[in-house]
Amino acid sequence: MAETRTTDPYRTYLREDQIPTAWYNLRADMPEKPEPMRLPNGKVATVDNIAPVFARALCEQELDDDTAYFDIPEPVMEMYRVYRPSPLCRAYNLERALGTPAKIYYKFEGNNTSGSHKLNSALAQAYYAYAEGITNITTETGAGQWGTALSEAAAHFGLSLDVYMVKCSYEQKPFRRSVMQTFGATITPSPSDTTAAGRKILASDPTCTGSLGTAISEAVERALNVPGNKGRYQLGSVLNQVLLHQSVIGLESYEALAELGEYPDIVIGCCGGGSNFGGLIAPFMRDKLNGAHPDTRFIGVEPASCPSLTRGVYAYDFADTGQTCPLCKMYTLGSGFIPSPDHAGGLRYHGMSPVVSKLKHDGYMEAVAVKQTDVFAAAEQFAKLETILPAPESSHAILQAIREAERCRETGEAKTILFGLTGTGYFDMVAYDKYNRGELEDHIPTDEELQVGFNTIPHIPGLQ
């Protein structure tokens, strides 16, 4: 059984003193910067513009395209030490089963109670709010990983947290709700009657099962209505600040691979809003941009049912359905796009991180869209071989890693593949059950269906 094994261990753990002490801001090393965030009137957003919504330190990180490193505050480091470094894993069992000469590594971020990489940014965002005297934070959650992570972070820093949970998830994932409540968060199914945005939607459709875009609108409104300017909204993906915090994934991967004498030929991550992918690729993309490793391939993997990178347009668009947030230039399906409710595999957001979008637009990375039935097949294969039951989101990356490794089997190339295993699927068993019963189907939007979403992209004179 051990015949293909090298001396590399199955799991490489860095020492605690190797946890990065600063986040890396890839934007500082991008020769062409992402397009700036803009207000609905077309003007470039300033820190003062967005400070009512986000903690000031986070606003500064959001808009800073020049500072390469931001020191991680000590209280955040303290909590990183509780669950980091995360392991860099060699998928020997998977390699053997595929009969591939490729080496497959994955960075596993699921070994914490939030079950995913989301905790990396949740702790940072909660800390900055706490440090600025904020008492109440709000957010939205769909699948629940971000909400769980922020619940843990809020509990640690003593913040009151209101989570707007997409109603269909609230009903289908009662245990996600329970975990968040155990950490002390208040959970409201969205759309709700607690906000004007929610009441408006309920008035037109009392049975609405919600969307991420709607939950964002409600959470932002709720934060702005906390008395005494003590409320702020926090978001788990898309934003530059989130990719900055998630750079710990890439930095640790980089260091662990260096200890093994490895450098990846291909880096693969799932793409919803881009938080994991953007964090994972950061130091490797730096090496591509500066010519140190020009040939590394980067592949973002998205669901065919919500294909922003592969079928979206690169345009300024709103982050929320209510169209009240600032605009980002990104690959988008339009804030009015709603993926099929049959879609189980997460990654349901209409847009994409401006950083990831810019890299894709400028040709530094590839993107592929995959079917959820293939994703769950890869998830089960991986679970049986590697004994980790992966989150459906993470399994998009697994599928692509398998496909690349199979290509290596055909060509005989011993490539080094790195992918991000963002989390575990313990709260996704309804979807696994559906797959096991053969009831999971793929709904790939037609061009006509996509056009409905595109029609919600704003046309702002002089911008697009």
Should residue 141 be labelled a site residue for a second copy when binding is judged by CB under 8 A? Answer: no
Q: Which is nearer to a second copy, 181 or 225 (CB)?
A: 181
Pairing assessment for the beta strands 88-90 and 103-108 based on DSSP bridges: antiparallel
Q: Which amino acid would we find at residue 155? A: A
Q: Which is nearer to a second copy, 19 or 319 (CB)?
A: 19
Rg (CA), the chain: 21
Query: How many Å apart are CA 381 and CA 121, to the nearest integer?
Result: 30
Local structure of residue 379 (DSSP, 8 states) = H
Should residue 48 be labelled a site residue for a second copy when binding is judged by CB under 8 A? Answer: no
Query: How many Å apart are CA 441 and CA 374, to the nearest integer?
Result: 10
Q: Which is nearer to a second copy, 173 or 361 (CB)?
A: 173
Q: Rounded to the nearest whole angstrom, what is the least distance from the CB of residue 13 to a second copy in the complex?
A: 4
Cis peptide before 101 (omega within 30 of 0): no
Should residue 159 be labelled a site residue for a second copy when binding is judged by CB under 8 A? Answer: no
**What tokens does 35 get?**
């397009």
Should residue 186 be labelled a site residue for a second copy when binding is judged by CB under 8 A? Answer: no
Choose the binding region for a second copy from 56-64, 180-188, 240-248, 362-370 (rule: CB under 8 A): 180-188
The helix (run of H) or strand (run of E) holding residue 350 is none
Q: Rounded to the nearest whole angstrom, what is the least distance from the CB of residue 47 to a second copy in the complex?
A: 27
Should residue 439 be labelled a site residue for a second copy when binding is judged by CB under 8 A? Answer: no
Query: How many Å apart are CA 181 and CA 222, to the nearest integer?
Result: 19
**What tokens does 119 get?**
């905790």
Q: Rounded to the nearest whole angstrom, what is the least distance from the CB of residue 92 to a second copy in the complex?
A: 8
Per CB under 8 A, which of residues 249..308 are in contact with a second copy? Answer: none
Out of 42, 44, 71, 81, the residue judged to bind a second copy by CB under 8 A: 81
Alpha helix (H) residue ranges in 273-341:
275-289, 308-311
Tell me, residue by residue from 361 to 390, as one string, x for binding to a second copy by CB under 8 A and - for no binding: -------------------x--xxxxxxx-
Total interface residues for a second copy by CB under 8 A = 51
Should residue 155 be labelled a site residue for a second copy when binding is judged by CB under 8 A? Answer: yes
Should residue 427 be labelled a site residue for a second copy when binding is judged by CB under 8 A? Answer: yes
Q: Is there a contact between 116 and 141 (Cβ–Cβ < 8 Å)?
A: no
CA 67 to chain centre: 22
Should residue 424 be labelled a site residue for a second copy when binding is judged by CB under 8 A? Answer: yes
CA dihedral 42, 315, 444, 204 (to 10 degrees): 10
Should residue 125 be labelled a site residue for a second copy when binding is judged by CB under 8 A? Answer: no
Q: Is there a contact between 195 and 218 (Cβ–Cβ < 8 Å)?
A: yes
Query: How many Å apart are CA 191 and CA 208, to the nearest integer?
Result: 7
Q: Which is nearer to a second copy, 258 or 429 (CB)?
A: 429
Should residue 28 be labelled a site residue for a second copy when binding is judged by CB under 8 A? Answer: no
Should residue 115 be labelled a site residue for a second copy when binding is judged by CB under 8 A? Answer: yes
**What tokens does 286 get?**
């730096």
Should residue 183 be labelled a site residue for a second copy when binding is judged by CB under 8 A? Answer: yes
CA distances from 132 to 80, 158, 332 (A): 20, 13, 33
Choose the binding region for a second copy from 6-14, 139-147, 223-231, 339-347 (rule: CB under 8 A): 6-14
Should residue 74 be labelled a site residue for a second copy when binding is judged by CB under 8 A? Answer: yes
Note the residues at the interface with a second copy (CB under 8 A): 1-2, 9-11, 13, 15-17, 74-75, 78-79, 81-83, 92-93, 111-115, 119, 152, 155-156, 174-175, 178-179, 181-184, 380, 383-389, 424, 426-427, 429-430, 432-433, 436
